[in-house]
Structures are given as C-alpha cells and as structure tokens.
Amino acid sequence: MSARIGVYVCECGPNIPDRIDIDRVLEEISPLKDVAVAKRYRLLCSNDGKKYLADEIRSEKLTHLVVAACSPRDHEKTFMKVCLEAGLNPFLFQMVNIREQCAWIFSEKSEATRMAVKYIRAGISRVTLHEPLLQKEIKATPDVLVVGGGIAGVETALSLAGQKRRVYLVERSDALGGTAARLGRLLPHQGTDMRLIQEKIEHAENNENISVFKGCEVEDIRGFLGNFEVSLKRSGGEPPPEMFRVGAVVVATGFALWDAFDPDVTGYGKIDDVVTSLEFEAMSASGKILKKNGSPPRSVALIHCVGRKEKGYCSKVCCLYSLKFAHQLKDSQPAPDVFEFYSDLCLPEKTDQDVFEEAKKRGVRFLRADDIRVEGRNGKIRIAYRDGSAEEAVEVEMAVLAPAMVPAPDSDRLARMLNIPLDETGFFKEAHSMLDPVSAPISGIYIAGCASGPKSIPESVVQAQAASGKILSVLMLGKTLEPEVKVSTIKEELCTGCQTCLNVCFYGAISFDAFRGVSVVNEAICRGCGSCVGSCPSGAISSKQFTYQQLFKEVMEALR
C-alpha cells in the first residue's frame, strides 16, 4: 500500500495567517509525492479541531500525519493522542513548528511563507521513514531491596512493606539502626526521644513483610527497574541466605566519620581524653561521661569542623550535635566549663538557632578559631588557636572532635556493582541534585539518607519516605511498566566493540557482550537521550525516530 500523508496547517487564530500565506503553502505542498490531502484549519488544538483531525485520519485513510502549527512542546502530545484515538500509530506523525520558528520571527510575510514551506517539506520527507513504534510493557516485581539498615534504611522498609510487597533489608553489621541507634540523645528533639529510634527498629524487626538480613552484604545484583536479581553474602563466609528478585533498590548505606586526622594536630590517640564525637555519644549513651581516670571532666572543649578544610565541604550536622553535647554537659552536676571552637556556625534548620541561644545563656563559650592544635600539657589538654591575628589558648580536661562525615566504607564497590556513579566527594550522586535528590541516575535505583551526603536524622527520614514515594508511584501493584519507546539500537555488524558508548551513557543502559564482542542497549533502561549515537566512531548506533536517514532527509529538504 502506498503512503497517504495528510498535511494540516493550523491557523492558530490570526497568529499564523497574519504572517504566513497559508494558501500559498498548501499550493506548494499539495503536489508533493505521497501527499494525499493538504488543508488548513482554524484551531486544531480545540476540541472541534481534534475531532476534525481524527475524522480526517479515518475518512482519508491516512497512513501518515503532518501537523504544521505551534511548538511541539505545546501540542505534540495532544496530536499523538488524536492519532491513537483514530487508529493511527502515533509515531507515524510529525509536528512542524511554523509559529515560533516562522510566523513569529520573520518580518517579511514572503520569507515566513517560504520557510514554512521548507519546514513542512522537511517534515513530510522524514515522516515516511518513521517506523510504527509500539509501547512495550514489562512485568515488574513490587518487592524492594534496601541496602543499609540505618535510620534511613529502616524508615524506607517501614514505609514500603505491605501485604503484597516484601522488603529485603540488608545490613552489614549485626544490628539495625546505624549511627542513630548509637547516640546518647537526639536533637532537635531533646530528652528521651531515643525511644523513637528503638521503636522503629523493633517495628522493622517484627514486620512479617520485611526480611531483615543482618551481617550480610549484597554479593551481586543484575537487571533493571522492575526486575533485579539479587544475591547476598554473609560476612564470615557462612552460606549465603538466598537469592531473590526485586523491582527496585534503595541505597541507604549512610556515612562514616573521617579518621585520617593528624594525631600531632588533634592529639587523638596521643593524649588521654581526646575523643571523637561518636566516642562521646557512646559515653553519653552509657550515662557516664568520664575521663580515663574515672572522674568527670571539669572543662570540655568541643572542636568543630575537623577535616572540613581537607574534605572541602561542611558536614551540616556537627555544629548542631556539638551544641547538643554542650547542653548535655551543662545538665550534669556540677556543670563543667564548655568551650565550642568553631569556624562558622551552621544552623540551617528553623529551630537550630534556639538551641544555640539557649547554650549561650547557659554559659557555653563560643570561640571562633582557626588553626586549632590540641596539645598535652602536664596532664591537661591545651587547645591552641588563632583568633584573627591573635594566638590564644585554653586548657581543658577533655576534648571532643567533630570529624567530617565521609561516605560509608566500600561505597565504591557497591556503586560499581549497581553501575551508579559517586560524585567527587565519594558520596552517591543524585540523578538530579535539585529536582531528583533521591534517585540514582539509573531507573529503579534510589538513594536515601547520608549515602548521598551529610544530613540530620529528620532529613534522612524525609529522604527515606521520599524514596518510598517514588517507588510506590512507579512500581504499582498489579501494573506493568511502560519503558521509553524512542530508544537507541546498535547495529551489531557495524559495532567494533570499542565500548565508547558504555562510558557515555549516563543511565547505564549499554553493556558489553564479551562473547559476541559487541555493545548492547538494554531497551528497558535506555531513555533515548541519544548521547551514545553521537559518540559511536563507527556510526553503529541509531536512535529510533532519529535515524541517520530520517535526519539526513529532513535536513536536506530544509536546506534545499
């Protein structure tokens, strides 16, 4: 059957006819090969217009449709829907923008008309080369793997688990809760709120729809959104628990504290009673904040920003938890002198400053300090620092270091296994740091909590709920997934196996088939961005709906 192309020029009210001689355009277009009809209409996007177009497609038995109107951003989807309703494959349609690209930019009517003809000819020449692409459907597993059982992982599991959705919660250590469970107190909620964390952990442990694997790590993972195969390994080499299939993965591996600090500068490991913040939390949790000799400290220095310079970022929560320590110390009887050595106080949450003001009222001394050195002197600790140009020093009995938060150990191994990137700080990289902070670049993989950078507990919990929200809106029970249609394909006979495209694809959609020596696109992952097409030195990759032939014909007609 030969092609029957229908070309419809929308007037868009006065917008187009004021500046383009539409009758002239139709005269030029009508005689072209395969053009069955060429007509004008007042407003195709109106309800009457859509109905008219659908009737035309049916009555004229059109095989292809070209609409010359506004920007495809405005109404491409509208007309694709019309095609679908009229029984024409929506990919056999091409939109030509003669409003923004002709009518609104040329001052001469003749020029705008001439260009409109060219663009429409270009559209016609490409549309006959279009393939009737089909929307695929992929079956998906609703179950989810959560890697890391800190507060972010636990909250994710609790928000997702349900009667028909199992969550596999994999924790490397032998306990759930991560750092949050090891704290003595919680800010911004003062007092006994540690109960909240414990309750969450218990709920996760007792939830019949959550399978908790403690002392385990992910051994291998393959697949894509809706269908990942996971195998675990147990530390200590015991037999791996099982293999299972999930539809999505949440990375909630948290953080570690930077520990590469110089003992000569910080005194850590060299001078008694110089401890890290987490060691202080452990003392606080046990209820005994004591020096090595068993007596309570009469003066304590809290040193912020340890490693901030080296790491090149601010860890966001250290100021707040140092304030928490100050309050806690001031709660004890007799209350010790407390000195906070800080660079800039970072108190970005709306209640943080109250905690600071309160600490000031309780006599905590705040010292803005550079070049801090912790020295041992006659059994005391001397904190030497610079305040502007002056050299100063304070003697204390205990010093608490607040080291920078850094990525959890082995994050790079997990990243490689999942084929997702880390950023220059070593934390997991977000799909879009502004608009999509809880997704990894690969569909089906999400990031929550400190795995993507330093955060407080409330923020980590929000991210856990956010990742759950994203998953629940994608992996709906009883629904199939509809992947991108305009994907890339690689011609095996042309592919030399150079693997350039593997590195170019931001979404990790391309893998290398070592057996056949060629690269392969996974159509379930590909988003059709086209980056790989341009990168392939052999021209082996083409993108559906943007083939070389289509583009060539289109450009040639536009230039002719």
Partner 1 sequence: MKNESVLILGAGVAGMEASLLLAAAGRKVHLVEKEPMIGGQLIKFEEVYPHMECSTCMVAPQQQAVLQNGNIEIHYLSALEKLEGSAGAFKASVKKKARYVSLANCIGCGACYDPCPVSLENEFEEGLAAARKAIAVPCAGALPNVPAIDPRHCLFLNGKDTQCRACKDACVFDAVQFEDKDETAVLDVGAVVVATGFGLLDVKQNPQYGYGEGKNVYTALEFERLFASNGPTGGNLTLRNGQTPKTVGIVHCVGRSELGYCSGVCCMYSVKFSRFLKHKLPDVRIREFHTDLCVPGKAYQKFFEKTRSEGVEFVRAETVKIASKESRLQVLYQNGGRGEEVFEADMVILSPAMIPAAGAKELAEVLGIKLDAKGFFAGRPGSLSPVETPVEGIFVIGCAEGPKDIPESVAQAAAAVGKILSLIPHEAN
Ligand X SMILES: Cc1cc2nc3c(=O)[nH]c(=O)nc-3n(C[C@H](O)[C@H](O)[C@H](O)COP(=O)(O)OP(=O)(O)OC[C@H]3O[C@@H](n4cnc5c(N)ncnc54)[C@H](O)[C@@H]3O)c2cc1C
Task: Kindly list the residues in this chain that would bind ligand SF4 in the complex (CB under 6 A).
Answer: 487-488, 504-505, 507, 509-510, 521, 526-532, 543
Question: What is the Cα Rg of the chain in Å?
Answer: 32
Query: Which of 217, 397, 484, 557 is in the footprint of ligand X by CB under 6 A?
Result: 217
- 252 scored as a contact of ligand X (CB under 6 A): yes
**In the window 331-350, what residues touch partner 1 (CB under 8 A)?**
344-350
Q: Binding partner of residue 357 among partner 1, ligand X, ligand SF4, none, CB under 5 to 8 Å per kind? A: partner 1
Query: Which of 449, 453, 508, 528 is in the footprint of ligand X by CB under 6 A?
Result: 449
Given the complex with ligand X, which of 186 and 525 has the nearer CB atom? 186
3-state secondary structure of 164: coil
Could you tell me which stretch among 60-68, 77-85, 448-456, 547-555 binds ligand X (CB under 6 A)?
A: 448-456
Query: Which of 41, 255, 427, 507 is in the footprint of ligand X by CB under 6 A?
Result: 255
Contact 120, 7 (CB under 8 A): yes
| Beta-carbon count within 10 A of 350 CB | 8
Contact 339, 300 (CB under 8 A): yes
**In the window 391-450, what residues touch partner 1 (CB under 8 A)?**
423, 425, 427, 430, 433-438
What is the C-alpha separation between 532 and 164, in angstroms, rounded? Answer: 38
Q: Binding partner of residue 510 among ligand X, partner 1, ligand SF4, none, CB under 5 to 8 Å per kind? A: ligand SF4
Q: How far is the CB of 529 from ligand SF4 (least distance, A)?
A: 4
* Cβ-based neighbours of 160, under 8 Å, separated by 6 or more: 144, 146, 167, 468, 471, 472
Mark residue 12 as left, alpha or beta (left: phi above 0; alpha: psi -120 to 50; beta: remaining): left
- 77 scored as a contact of partner 1 (CB under 8 A): yes
Mark residue 95 as left, alpha or beta (left: phi above 0; alpha: psi -120 to 50; beta: remaining): beta
Q: How far is the CB of 422 from ligand SF4 (least distance, A)?
A: 19
- 183 scored as a contact of ligand X (CB under 6 A): yes
The HSE-up count of residue 145 (CA atoms within 13 Å, CB side) is: 33
Q: How far is the CB of 262 from ligand X (least distance, A)?
A: 20
Beta bridge partners of 331: none
Could you tell me which stretch among 11-19, 232-240, 447-455, 491-499 binds ligand X (CB under 6 A)?
A: 447-455
Query: Which of 150, 307, 483, 508 is in the footprint of ligand X by CB under 6 A?
Result: 150
Q: Binding partner of residue 160 among ligand SF4, partner 1, ligand X, none, CB under 5 to 8 Å per kind? A: partner 1
Cα 382 to Cα 284, 355, 374, 378: the distances in Å are 23, 27, 6, 9
Strand order in the sheet with 243-246: 216-224, 227-234, 243-246
Query: Which of 467, 490, 495, 536 is in the footprint of partner 1 by CB under 8 A?
Result: 467
Look up residue 16 and give its amino acid.
Answer: I
Q: Binding partner of residue 281 among partner 1, ligand X, ligand SF4, none, CB under 5 to 8 Å per kind? A: ligand X
Torsion sign (Cα): 257, 258, 264, 265: negative
Given the complex with ligand SF4, which of 425 and 531 has the nearer CB atom? 531
- 363 scored as a contact of partner 1 (CB under 8 A): no
- 138 scored as a contact of partner 1 (CB under 8 A): no
Residue 188 preceded by cis peptide, ω within 30: yes
Q: Binding partner of residue 527 among ligand SF4, partner 1, ligand X, none, CB under 5 to 8 Å per kind? A: ligand SF4
**In the window 412-431, what residues touch ligand X (CB under 6 A)?**
414
Q: What tokens appear for 72 in the block?
A: 């495809």
What DSSP string describes 27-85? HHHTTSTTEEEEEEES-TTSHHHHHHHHHHHHHTT-SEEEEEES-HHHHHHHHHHHHHH
Tell me the number of residues near ligand X by CB under 6 A. 40
Query: Which of 157, 170, 248, 415 is in the footprint of ligand X by CB under 6 A?
Result: 170
Q: Binding partner of residue 519 among partner 1, ligand SF4, ligand X, none, CB under 5 to 8 Å per kind? A: none
Beta bridge partners of 392: 385
Residues near ligand X, by CB under 6 A: 147-153, 170-173, 178-180, 183, 186-187, 217, 252-255, 257, 277-278, 281, 317, 321, 324, 408, 410, 414, 449-451, 455-458, 460
